[in-house]
Structures are given as C-alpha cells and as structure tokens.
Amino acid sequence: MKRAICRFARVLLAVAVTFALAAGNEVRAEVSRFAIPSISTTRNDGSSFGLIVPNLVTDQDKELRYLVTPLFVVNTIVGAQGALNIFRYDTGGREMRIIASYSEKIERKFVFSYIDPAFSNGRYALSVGASFFKNATMRFFGISQQTPESDETNYTARETRAHWKFGVHLNEVTQIAIGERFREVRVQRGATDLPFTAEVFPTVDGIQGATILGHRATFHYDTRDSLVAPTDGTQVSAYAELNQNLQNGDNPVFYRYALEMKKLFPSESKRLILVVRGNLQTTFGRQVPFYERSSLGGQNNLRGYGVDRFIDDHLVGLNIEQRIHVLRARIFNVAAEFEIAPFVDMGKVFNTFKKRQLQDYEVTPGIGFRGMVRPSVVGRVDYGYSSEGGAVFAGLDFPF
C-alpha cells in the first residue's frame, strides 16, 4: 500500500507540474516552484510530516492566477497520504478549486467548487460545488456542553455533498440569495483506538446515517473592501433553512436559523486590524442527526478544541482577533504579506433559551500566523489553548 501511495504522489507531482506549465503558457506568465516541509499536529488528526511543492503561476502584471500544490505526507493515524490542490483565480473574485487526496488508511477526498461573486456583469452571485470524502478521525462526545472528555469516541464520516447558491445584488453592499444543499452521511468505524461511536451511542439520532436535502434563503450585507483578505468594513449574514431528512419517515423536517455579524477596525496605517465576530445559530425539530445540530470547536470557532467538540440544538459565539502586520516581501515572483494574530474565542451550545442555560461559556485564547498573497490567497496556522490541552489548525482563508 505504501508503494501505491508513493506512486500516486509521483503521479500527482507530474500532473501538477504539467498543469502549472500549461497554465503558464496559456497566460504567457511565469511559473515559480519550490519545496517546503510540511509538519503539523492537531487534536483530532494526529501528527504529519512530509513535503509540499507549491507552483505559483502569475500573469504579466505579477498577479497570481493559479496555485497548484502537490503534497505528500505521512500521518500517525491514517498513514501515507498524497494530495493535489489546484486553485484558479480570475478577475472579479472568480475562483475555482479542485482538491483530491488518497490515504493509506480509509481517508479519501475529492472536492470541486466554483464561485463567481460578480456573475453576469456583476448583477448576480453564483456558487456551485460537490464533494466526496471519508474523514476517519471524527469525534463525538455526546450532546450538550457538559459532555466529559472521557466520553470521547471516534468514527469515519463517509459523506457525499453538493450545493448551489444564486444571489441577486440589490445594490453594491446588499444581496439576497437562495440555494440548496444535498448531504448523504454514513457513520463507519474510525481509524483510531478510541471506542466506536456507533457502539457507545447506538441510539443517538443520525447514527444510522442520513440523507439531507436543505433549502436556504440568505440575506447578505457586506461593506468589506475584499472578500478574501479584507482590511476594513462590516459584514452581516442571516439565513433561514428548511431541511428534509429523506431517511426519516417519522420526523423528516427540521429548521435552522443563523445570524452572523463581523466588524473590522483598522488602524490608520492598517498595520493593526481588530476583528470582532458574533454568531447565533438555532436548530428546531425532532430527531435531528447529531452532525446536523449546532456545534463548537474546530478551525473557525472555539479553536482550543477539536472539530465538533460540543454539540446541541443552539449556539452563541464571540470571536475577537487582533491581526498585526509584521512583514511584506516579494517571494518567488509574488508579493506576500505576513501577520500574527492573537485571539480569544468564546462560545456555548445549549438546548433552551432559559437564562440559566446562557452562562458558563467556554473560552479559548490563542495565536495565529498568516501568510497572504492579496487579493486571492490566505494561508494560516492557528493555535488555541483549552482545558483539554489545546489544538492546532492549518488551512486556507481567514477563520472569519
């Protein structure tokens, strides 16, 4: 199997280099290629070490057009892993992503997404996507904020997803949109030595799988100066969603509502940017699958805990992050910027809006490190501390 993974990684590298060169020829641009070590450790996913080979394709104006990144790592839980990431960036904020990976043990992933925030000469916004993956390191502790760490279990989430969203711009800062999502989930045995979730929690809703069809209406208000790497502005997003669990004949319908507000407070030079986000999410219905309920923990909220550490019907969260510019440099033909970002995340999940349930928030302080190629690419590593030891997350885009 390890030999197969190595062959897969070599094929990915060859495909990536060929794609980058072809892209470079297409736009008569320059390709910059380099290798960097990949070392990471996270609360749920274990430790990894290996090599990443980013290929940066820039156009005649030195703007990044393609990012083609093959990766080969060895993980302490799922073994050897080969992956290929292809991102294409166009004018007007259009972006296409293709991600494929294959692991020695259980895990597989294929993701496609396309976003055009200025579709049809800026009158509309369009996004579509589809994915299939098997995540072998998922955790479940039970429902509620009071679940102890000793109740930790593991499962593989085998999922097929698809979505579309179509928005109409009412003016330069306001948009209304409709969309749908499809999600098919199967709970299978995981890759760790932890107890299997289906054996410890055999009666929890969703343990037998689910097929979800969701219908959503969304309101957006956004004055930020960039969709990917903003430095100023306000964003307000609210949605209402009706969901159907096609596998549940008794209680197939449940509802979700959410409100999110973000505000950036830049200094005059924009070397310091204070970012504040508030988030409220509610879920109403009977027999809602546990992975469809509100959750805290992971790379975008309560970063001191692993993904989905706390699960219940509703959540409230607050994030405060100070982004501090430390360096600007030209690296491999692109202009890069670097930040550090101390932060505090707070949040709570609960099942009733009674006053006594809105106390005792979880709080996780931490620090982030960011690298950016404006206006299209943000890479980050965040470390958050919690009473359970903390967590490290790496990825693309800001957490909020």
Kindly report, residue by residue over 19-69, the tens digit of the pLDDT: 545 554 554 568 888 888 888 888 888 899 999 998 989 888 778 889 999
Handedness of CA 272, 280, 235, 328 (dihedral sign): positive
Count of other CB atoms within 10 angstroms of residue 352: 11
| C-alpha to C-alpha distance for 77 and 160, rounded to whole angstroms | 23
Residue 124, helix vs strand vs coil: strand
| C-alpha to C-alpha distance for 137 and 131, rounded to whole angstroms | 18
Residue 223, helix vs strand vs coil: coil
pLDDT value at residue 377: 80
Q: What would the pLDDT profile of 70-99 be if each residue is shown by its tens digit?
A: 999 999 999 999 999 999 999 888 999 999
Count of other CB atoms within 10 angstroms of residue 218: 17
pLDDT value at residue 56: 86
Burial class (CB in 10 A: 0-12, 13-18, 19+), 314: buried
Using 70 as the pLDDT threshold, list the residues of the chain that sit under it.
Answer: 1-29, 332, 355-359
pLDDT value at residue 332: 67
End-to-end CA distance of the chain: 39
| C-alpha to C-alpha distance for 397 and 375, rounded to whole angstroms | 11
pLDDT value at residue 184: 98
| C-alpha to C-alpha distance for 131 and 245, rounded to whole angstroms | 19
Burial class (CB in 10 A: 0-12, 13-18, 19+), 172: exposed
DSSP state of 196: B
pLDDT value at residue 180: 98
| C-alpha to C-alpha distance for 157 and 190, rounded to whole angstroms | 8
Residues in the chain: 400
Residue 206: CB partners within 8 Å, gap ≥ 6?
185, 187, 288, 289, 290, 291, 292
Residue 72's nearest CA partner among 61, 64, 83 is 83
pLDDT value at residue 25: 52
DSSP state of 195: P
**Which run of H or of E encompasses 22?**
helix 2-26
pLDDT value at residue 27: 47
Return the structure tokens found at 192. Answer: 């760790």
- CATH fold of 153-396 reads Porin (2.40.160)
**For 264, phi and psi rounded to 5 degrees?**
-105, 130
| C-alpha to C-alpha distance for 123 and 283, rounded to whole angstroms | 32
| C-alpha to C-alpha distance for 139 and 289, rounded to whole angstroms | 15
